[in-house]
Structure 1
Amino acid sequence: MSKLYSAAELAYREVKELILSGELPGGELISEGEIATRMGSSRTPVREAFLRLEAEGWMRLYPKRGALIVPVAEGEAEHVVDARLLIEVHAAQVVAASPRTREALVAALRANLEEQRDTAAQGDAARFSTLDADFHRALVRAGGNPLLESFYDGLRERQRRMTAHSLARDPDQITKIVDDHTRLADLIEAGDAEGFASAVGRHMREVHSLGNGGIR
């Protein structure tokens, strides 16, 4: 791997993480120079990173003006939540029918919850949004369908960005999310797939403020 490619990859990863964590919010205009200064690099690898992020739909480039961070599209949150619900509820049904799988999953969920509590106490919203995504993905992985797991992974980045947006809007939501996750883990442990379906749907829609039709 060339030094130039390494620098471009590093710039890509750093800027994308800033977008997903909400540190670079939708609608903000940034420049190659800002990121190059921040990273202590030249503009060339940053330019390559910006082009890649534009191709992925995270940025919109305007020559001589900078790069616009593309906001969460209207209706995107509803679509992501709908897709996640279909997959997570299915996984919960599979897990409910397998005591051994359920036991292993619950152990993983409880361990993740401990990390969530520690991270919440530290006020690290970026780390928390990653743990939130990991919590839900653990259930999907336990469902044992690699095709659904792969599709779900494609939603992960959008999920993280949505959660970061929600926490920026209302930091106190961290406590509610931890409480919700504790309840979801309890329902999984009880093998209550129906109860889980109801609770996880309510959880997602409340976290992302979808009761009134979208992110506010």
Structure 2
Amino acid sequence: MSEIYEAEGSGLSRVELAYRQLKTNILSNEYPPGFQALEPEIAKKLGVSRTPVREALIRLEAEKLIELIPRRGMRVLPLVPDDIIEINQVLTGLECLAVELLAKKSCGSDVLRPMTDAVQEMELALENDAIEDWAKAEEKFHRLLISLAGNKRLSMLVENVRAQAYRARIITLKLRPKPFSSTSAYRDVFEFIARGDWQAAKSRHYDHRIEIGNILTEVLDRYQLPHL
């Protein structure tokens, strides 16, 4: 709840503040799948009126994170295995396009330095067996990839889809093998991007995304997870 008050001086609208706080609550599982609440309850907790809450909920429904139920407020939507597989397929297409766009820009080492740092952070996290730190560094790599690609509409689409997958990603990460192969793939993708070899970078990232899809399918089948 503190986030919405801390951001008051940021110039963001109350709708944006409510949206960000509610999204954080959902992605962090403070509002787990199946959680229901009425608009007045949410507004009271956030310390805002019902109008910005309503508008924030409409945005979250469009992102497939919740559903709005007449006279029953909102319900946080779970992700079923088919959802997770579809999300990975969509991300594969979008991120491969981002890889191509970024590699074709032939950015200098100063621009790409944060991506180098993210890969190094992943490698260090694996050495220290710190899987949560690895996940943060991987998320940083993905965000940099999309932002540096320079396509605002692509960035909006990816942000929407990745938000849907965030909860499932955190859970499945603990069930899958340690991500040594993923880290190696990110290193390869980055080096191809740095050399401006967009075809090799795109191919390597595509192969990696397919591998991730296969791992997710195996984890979901093995643990027979009904939803996340």
Would the TM-score normalized by the shorter structure come out above 0.5? Answer: yes
What amino acid is the match of 1:201? I
Measure, in 1, the Cα distance between the counterparts of 2:37 and 2:83. Answer: 23
Gaps of 5+ in 2: 1-11, 193-199
Measure, in 2, the Cα distance between the counterparts of 1:196 and 1:53. Answer: 29
The answer to whether the 8 Å contact 1:102/1:189 transfers is no
Which residue of structure 1 lines up, in the alignment, with residue 166 of structure 2?
Answer: 163
Question: Cα gap change, 1:61/1:104 in structure 2, threshold over 3 Å: closer, same or farther?
Answer: same
Which residue of structure 2 lines up, in the alignment, with residue 139 of structure 1?
Answer: 145
5 Å matches for 1:14-163?
Answer: 14-72=21-79, 75-92=82-99, 100-101=106-107, 103=109, 107-113=113-119, 117=125, 121=130, 123=132, 128=136, 132-140=138-146, 146=151, 150-163=153-166
Question: Cα gap change, 1:121/1:31 in structure 2, threshold over 3 Å: closer, same or farther?
Answer: farther
Q: Tell me the TM-score normalized by structure 1.
A: 0.65
Measure, in 1, the Cα distance between the counterparts of 2:187 and 2:61. Answer: 41
Which residue of structure 2 lines up, in the alignment, with residue 188 of structure 1?
Answer: 189
Q: What fraction of aligned residue pairs are identical, expressed as a percent? A: 25
Gaps of 5+ in 1: none
The answer to whether the 8 Å contact 1:106/1:188 transfers is no
Question: Cα gap change, 1:111/1:181 in structure 2, threshold over 3 Å: closer, same or farther?
Answer: farther
Are 1:201 and 2:210 an aligned pair?
yes
How many corresponding residue pairs?
Answer: 200
Measure, in 2, the Cα distance between the counterparts of 1:97 and 1:55. Answer: 33
The answer to whether the 8 Å contact 2:95/2:146 transfers is yes
Measure, in 2, the Cα distance between the counterparts of 1:41 and 1:142. Answer: 35
What amino acid is the match of 1:200? R
Q: Please tell me the root mean square deviation across aligned C-alpha atoms, in Å.
A: 4.2
Q: Tell me the TM-score normalized by structure 2.
A: 0.62
